[in-house]
Structure 1
């Protein structure tokens, strides 16, 4: 094969490549820009103990925080603790006797003057009382 034949074949090969990729590039449609996903807010963790159940669903966020604080204080101290929320809800937590590493408690909540009562449990974990149910 002589030099001019090799040049002709190389030129033909390059031309075919340019045409193939050039045509495909012209016929392609640009991808739409990918929209940045909006950050998804994580759901707040469930409230601990009795307030995390049906009773807590009837409370505002602020009242629920006050009730949770009273619940924690009562089980930690072993002394009955009352609380009053901003929107008229109120209640009290009565801890039971310490039985080993755990103690039961009763949380009575008044919403719109109607009493609701539930029982829960707290246990010592790493030297601190934690509401477990």
Structure 2
């Protein structure tokens, strides 16, 4: 009987470590602490692991692409399932990213997510999966 009580407790304890909320911390503070370097270098390194993200080869300016990737990272790392994270540029480009509930694959946290971008009002959506690396970056599968 005691064995059966321990299993749910261990499952809850394991899930508690899988939180995707930041607890109010900004991503730049956390990113800087992962690498021991500057916050900007850490942010660039963590975003680089996403490659082109779900926006792929969409017609985005470099600044727009960076905003889109930051929104993907913010969503994957900190947002609860179903919460919309929006981004908007000054040149009529925008988007929103929504992630599903995190799940485990081996020792990695993974999430499915959708990114919809709007270029001149025309929406384009893509779906994918990313898993979190030990250094805090996310790699698209």
In the superposition, the TM-score normalised over structure 1's length comes to: 0.58
Distance in 2 between residues matched to 1:116 and 1:105, nearest whole Å:
14
1:41-100 CA-partner distances (Å, limit 9, x unpaired): xxx99833212x232xx1111111111101110010134310001211001000111111
Aligned length: 87
Aligned to 1:26: none
1:89-132 CA-partner distances (Å, limit 9, x unpaired): 00100011111121110000010100000012121211625031
State which of 42, 54, 57 in structure 2 corresponds to 1:54.
Answer: 57
> Is 1:123 matched with 2:105?
no
Q: Over the residues paired in the alignment, what is the CA RMSD in angstroms? A: 2.3
Higher RCO (C-alpha under 8 Å, 6+ residues apart): 2
State which of 65, 88, 104 in structure 1 corresponds to 2:112.
Answer: 104
* Structure index of larger Rg: 1
Structure 1 stretches of at least 4 aligned residues deviating more than 2 Å after TM superposition: 44-48
5+ residue gaps, structure 2, are: 1-47
In the superposition, the TM-score normalised over structure 2's length comes to: 0.55
Distance in 1 between residues matched to 2:52 and 2:57, nearest whole Å:
12
5+ residue gaps, structure 1, are: 1-43
